[in-house]
Amino acid sequence: MEKMQKEMNRRMNKLLQLVFILIAFASPESSASSSSFSSRKLLADEAPPLKLITGDQQVTVDNGLFSATFSVPEGMINEIRYNGISNLLSENEDLNSRMYFDAVSGKPPAFRIDATKYNVTVQTDEQVELSFTYTWDAKNSSVFPVNVEKRYVVLRGFSGIYIYGIYERLKGWPDMDFVQTRIVFKPNGDK
């Protein structure tokens, strides 16, 4: 039991490090000064344009420094590459289990938000924004009566990804408790 707890703690530390890296490097607010932000902007201006690469049941956004590959239409990140380092996510996990985006409604289990629709909302040389939408269907589901749109944004020259969710509960839908959303990455312990 103690060995299992140590392994869980090690994995959690790796996960927190990865999340910190993604947030710290992606966020303009993380810059120490406006001059360092200006330097980042200059680097972004000199960076190659963003590429959106579509494949069979996946899409990749690549800015030359950072790339993320998403499952389509579910909207889970299956692979993250950074500065030449191959997949930063666990390769011991099933492809769609390397990260998850879920919602906790106050009673177990958490609801994993697997989208059923994919859309590119912005595609320029400077920014790519992807949308993955889950639409609640009262006939087929009694779980989590909310429409959810997961959004992912990659910017030119920035070394991370912005992630956010849009939740919509329509009038007349069943009551529910909504406690939190979790976005979890399972890191590759060998990187």
113 in a structural domain:
yes
Residue 119 lies in a domain: yes
In a domain? residue 36: no
Instruction: Render 153-187 in DSSP notation, one character per residue.
Output: EEETT-SS-EEEEEEE--TTSPP----EEEEEE-B
Q: How many structural domains are present in the chain?
A: 1
Q: Tell me if 9 is assigned to some domain.
A: no
What does the mean pLDDT of the chain come to? 81
Domain-embedded: residue 22: no
User: pLDDT tens digit string along 146-191?
Assistant: 999 999 999 999 989 999 999 999 999 988 888 999 999 999 888 6
Residue 2 lies in a domain: no
Least Cα distance to 152 among 179, 122, 191 occurs for 122
Domain CATH for 180: 2.70.98.10
The identity of residue 99, as a single letter, is M
Name the nearest CA neighbour of 123 among 40, 57, 59, 77. 59
In the structure, how many helices (H) and strands (E) does the chain have? 2, 11
Q: What is the pLDDT of residues 57-103, one digit of tens each?
A: 999 999 999 999 999 999 999 999 999 898 999 888 777 678 989 99
The reported pLDDT for the residue numbered 130 is 99
Q: What is the DSSP letter of 33?
A: S
Domain extent at residue 119: 46-185
In the sheet that holds 99-104, the strands lie side by side as: 111-112, 99-104, 180-185
Is 77 within the bounds of a domain?
Answer: yes
SS3 151: strand
Structure tokens at 157: 């020259």
* pTM: predicted TM-score of the whole model, two decimal places: 0.76
* 38 occurs within a structural domain: no
Q: What is the pLDDT of residue 41?
A: 55
